[in-house]
């Protein structure tokens, strides 16, 4: 034991935690009154409440979760599937989002329970948690690729909120929160235009990516608005550093853009690779903007300008929606769309 511990609880070490009955006996009231003191304090006479509260503090009582869950048929747990880590990319919004979600959830009285499930096991993962009543609701994060989770959960009447629009099913009525990628990219493009760039290239994802096309629209919109040429300045590739690198090389050769706006930091890093291979300096010779404001964007020299999603706010909106769904009666909210910001750094 390295150093003195401040907040030693009144509970004797090793002994089972005190129960409602212990508190009741100590306070000289019935168990029910203690329960009310905890859950409906307004029902008690002030002096009784204080007496009970005192006993609770003395004993260090905290309601037993399992018992409460069994009785109320709720776990106060929110399930979140952890998506596989993509190594070799700059995609790392999970960390920031997760932290915000956990923090916001706690303020609402919920904890976050993680699980993994891929491929064929995907639905099974959700199903198991639903059937064992392990969680009250889910936060779903992969809303593209016609993901079956949302559909399944909706069909099962399991409460959930999606981070991401229901791209493939506009008729879906579930709660969702998303960030307007098109606006983010427009912000980025506008930023480059403001810096005097006229040949601004777009490196995005394959055409079947709805998110990619949405982001691309932000670039196209701003280019049109300023009467700037877009032909020959866009290309769509896979989301890897290598693809970004190759795309940048091809675009530089064919159209000599002075700025690049990319659908992801991963692609933008690819552009940086090409620049450094050609002895070009990002920010001085060619401007580059990424998307996600990853750690990579923050630390790579000379700093990668990037579109930043307001993940903290996303978490707040998600939890708010979740609270609504878990209310009795449930309150359904429409989708919530948030605007990203632009983190400007050396690369532009």
Partner DNA sequence: TTGAAAGCGCTAACAA
Partner DNA sequence: TTGTTAGCGCTTTCAA
- Chain residues binding DNA by CB under 7 A are 16, 19-21, 29-33, 35-36, 38-39, 43-45, 47-49, 61, 63-64, 67-68, 70-73
> Are the CB atoms for 315 and 101 separated by under 8 Å?
yes
Residue 134 found at the interface with a copy of itself (CB under 8 A)? yes
d(CA 292, CA 116): 23
Which range in 26-34, 43-51, 192-200, 296-304 contacts a copy of itself by CB under 8 A?
Answer: 296-304
Neighbours of 77 (CB within 10 A): 18
Q: Can you tell me which of 154, 198, 246, 323 binds a copy of itself, judged by CB under 8 A?
A: 154
CA of residue 199 relative to chain centroid, distance: 34
Which residue shows structure tokens 């983190």?
A: 343
Min separation Cβ 56 and a copy of itself, Å: 11
Q: Tell me the C-alpha to C-alpha distance, in Å, between residue 276 and each of 118, 233, 272, 294, 302.
A: 37, 20, 6, 20, 11
Q: Tell me the C-alpha to C-alpha distance, in Å, between residue 161 and each of 68, 199, 229.
A: 24, 40, 40
Which range in 64-72, 193-201, 202-210, 313-321 contacts a copy of itself by CB under 8 A?
Answer: 64-72
Nearer to a copy of itself, 31 or 273 (CB): 273
Min separation Cβ 50 and DNA, Å: 10
CA atoms within 13 A of residue 128's CA, in its CB half-sphere? 10
The listed partner (a copy of itself, DNA, none) that binds 33, CB under 5 to 8 Å by sort, is: DNA
> Are the CB atoms for 324 and 332 separated by under 8 Å?
yes
Nearer to a copy of itself, 269 or 316 (CB): 269
Q: Where are the beta strands (DSSP E) in 231-286?
A: 234-237, 259-262
Residue 307 found at the interface with a copy of itself (CB under 8 A)? no
Which residues sit opposite 235 in a β-bridge? 203
The listed partner (a copy of itself, DNA, none) that binds 127, CB under 5 to 8 Å by sort, is: a copy of itself
Nearer to a copy of itself, 227 or 279 (CB): 279
Which residue shows structure tokens 């920031």?
A: 96
Q: Can you tell me which of 57, 128, 238, 339 binds a copy of itself, judged by CB under 8 A?
A: 128
Min separation Cβ 16 and DNA, Å: 6
d(CA 107, CA 114): 18
The listed partner (DNA, a copy of itself, none) that binds 3, CB under 5 to 8 Å by sort, is: a copy of itself
Min separation Cβ 242 and a copy of itself, Å: 10
> Are the CB atoms for 113 and 99 separated by under 8 Å?
no
Residue 256 found at the interface with a copy of itself (CB under 8 A)? no
Q: Can you tell me which of 283, 302, 310, 324 binds a copy of itself, judged by CB under 8 A?
A: 302
- For the chain, how big is the Rg over CA atoms in Å? 26
d(CA 95, CA 310): 13
Min separation Cβ 111 and DNA, Å: 16
């Amino acid at each position: 034991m390295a150093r003195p511990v401040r907040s030693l609880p009144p509970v004797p070490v090793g002994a089972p935690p005190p129960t409602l009955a212990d508190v009741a006996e100590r306070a000289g009231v019935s168990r029910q009154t203690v329960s009310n003191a905890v859950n409906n304090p307004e029902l008690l006479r002030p002096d009784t409440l204080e007496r009970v509260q005192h006993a609770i503090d003395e004993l260090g009582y905290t309601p037993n979760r399992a018992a409460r869950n069994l009785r109320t048929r709720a776990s106060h747990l929110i399930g979140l599937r952890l998506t596989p880590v993509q190594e070799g990319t700059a995609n790392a919004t999970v960390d920031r989002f997760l932290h915000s979600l956990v923090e916001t959830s706690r303020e609402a009285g919920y904890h976050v329970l993680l699980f993994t499930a891929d491929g064929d096991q995907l639905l099974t993962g959700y199903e198991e948690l639903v059937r064992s009543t392990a969680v009250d609701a889910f936060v779903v994060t992969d809303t593209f690729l016609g993901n079956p989770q949302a559909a399944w959960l909706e069909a099962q009447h399991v409460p959930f909120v999606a981070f991401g629009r229901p791209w493939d099913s506009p008729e879906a009525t579930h709660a969702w929160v998303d960030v307007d990628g098109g606006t983010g990219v427009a912000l980025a493009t506008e930023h480059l235009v403001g810096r005097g760039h006229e040949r601004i290239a777009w490196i995005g994802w394959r055409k079947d990516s709805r998110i990619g096309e949405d982001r691309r629209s932000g670039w196209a919109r701003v280019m049109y608005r300023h009467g700037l040429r877009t032909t020959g300045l866009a290309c769509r590739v896979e989301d890897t550093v290598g693809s970004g690198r190759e795309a940048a090389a091809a675009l530089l050769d064919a159209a000599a853009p002075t700025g690049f706006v990319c659908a992801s930091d991963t692609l933008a890093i690819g552009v940086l690779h090409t620049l450094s291979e050609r002895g070009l300096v990002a920010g001085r010779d060619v401007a580059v903007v990424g998307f996600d404001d990853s750690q990579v964007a923050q630390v790579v020299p000379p700093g990668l300008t990037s579109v930043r999603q307001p993940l903290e706010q996303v978490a707040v909106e998600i939890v708010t929606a979740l609270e609504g769904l878990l209310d009795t009666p449930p309150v359904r909210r429409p989708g919530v769309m948030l605007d990203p910001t632009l983190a400007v750094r050396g690369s532009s």
